[in-house]
Every structure is written in C-alpha cells, then in structure tokens.
C-alpha cells in the first residue's frame, strides 16, 4: 500500500462530510423560507365608477373587473387578500 493513502482518504472523507453538512444546512434554510402554498381570502367588491374604489394596499390582488352596462367605463372591481404558507405558517403577502 502506498504511503499516505490513508491520510488522503481521511482528508477526502472530511471534505465530503463538510460538503454534506453544507447541503443539509442549505436544505434546512430552503425549507424554512420556501413558499409551499398560497390562498386567496374572501372577495371584496367596490364600485369603481363614481365610487370609492380601492386605495393601493399591500397584500391584495385584483381578481374581478366588471363592466355591466358595456360602456367605456369600469363599473365594479373585486379584490382578495393573498396569503402564503412558509414553514407551516400562514402570512399575509406584503406584510
């Protein structure tokens, strides 16, 4: 057996072990920060034409726009709160 083979093998094993630990830590960080699900809250309606409409507010998405009388102006709109699931917990998007 060549002199130094065992120390070379041990050195390679040490490097491999450190790489595995790094990958494991990276996967844990990913699991703790990855969005695993999203959901929309209940629909909120607003009169857009000659109405209050919506102020720009974080965490909501427009999911409906209606023009019932088919003129050139938007009549009603709807929005829903968007939430995300991270590490088993639900959070409002934009909060």
pLDDT digits (tens, 9 = 90+) for 36-77: 999 999 999 888 877 777 777 889 999 999 998 889 888 889
The model carries a pTM of 0.63
- The Cα 20–Cα 9 span in angstroms is 16
- What is the token pair recorded at 2? 């060549």
pLDDT digits (tens, 9 = 90+) for 11-37: 889 899 989 999 999 998 988 899 999
Nearest residue to 84 via CA among 54, 56, 61? 61
């Amino acid at each position: 057996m060549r002199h130094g083979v065992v120390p070379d093998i041990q050195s390679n094993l040490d490097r491999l072990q450190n790489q595995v630990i790094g990958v494991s830590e990276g996967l844990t960080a990913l699991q703790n920060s990855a969005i695993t699900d999203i959901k929309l809250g209940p629909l909120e309606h607003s009169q857009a034409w000659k109405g209050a409409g919506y102020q720009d507010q974080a965490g909501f998405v427009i999911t409906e726009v209606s023009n019932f009388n088919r003129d050139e102006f938007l009549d009603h709109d709807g929005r829903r709160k968007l939430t995300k699931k991270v590490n088993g917990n639900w959070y409002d998007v934009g909060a």
